[in-house]
Amino acid sequence: MPGPLAKFRLLMFGSDEILLQVRSRVLSTIGCETRLVYQLEEARQALASSDAKPILVVICHTAEQAPADELRKIALKEGVPTYYVEVLLPPKHLVSDVGAILKPEGRQVRAANAGSPGK
């Protein structure tokens, strides 16, 4: 995990503002700086940016299926892994899963529940 000054940039996508804010705060405890987006176009622009490109896209269960699938395709094109957050994933599991992905050896590997829901 990073030192106290290092930050991992994440892009979090979903439709429940409060839930995304809570999950963002939880992930900040392990050095994540999370940009919250609620529209596909916002996410597309964030992934296209060379200045602040995220190293992981977190898709919450509150995102509608079609935009979530499109975001996965965009992220894949950009070489950014995605992680799908289950409905009632406890904070401890969220931190564990994302932390494992962010380790140097885990950045190329998706978490067990990454990808489409139910896979």
Both tokens of residue 59? Answer: 């898709």
Q: How confident is the model at residue 106 (pLDDT cuts 50, 70, 90)?
A: low
Name the CATH topology of 8-106. Answer: Rossmann fold (3.40.50)
More confident residue, 107 or 13: 13
What is the average pLDDT value for the chain, to the nearest integer?
84
Q: What is the pTM of this model?
A: 0.82
Residue 118, pLDDT > 50, answer: no
Cross-strand pairs, 60? 85
| Structural domain spans, the chain | 8-106
> How much is the pLDDT for 105?
62
CA dist 83 and 28 (Å) reads 16
Residues in the chain, overall count: 119
What is the C-alpha radius of gyration for the chain, rounded to an integer number of angstroms?
13
pLDDT of 14-63, one tens digit each?
A: 999 999 999 999 999 999 999 999 999 999 999 988 778 899 999 999 99
Of the candidate ranges 5-9, 20-24, 64-68, 72-76, the one whose mean pLDDT is the lowest: 5-9
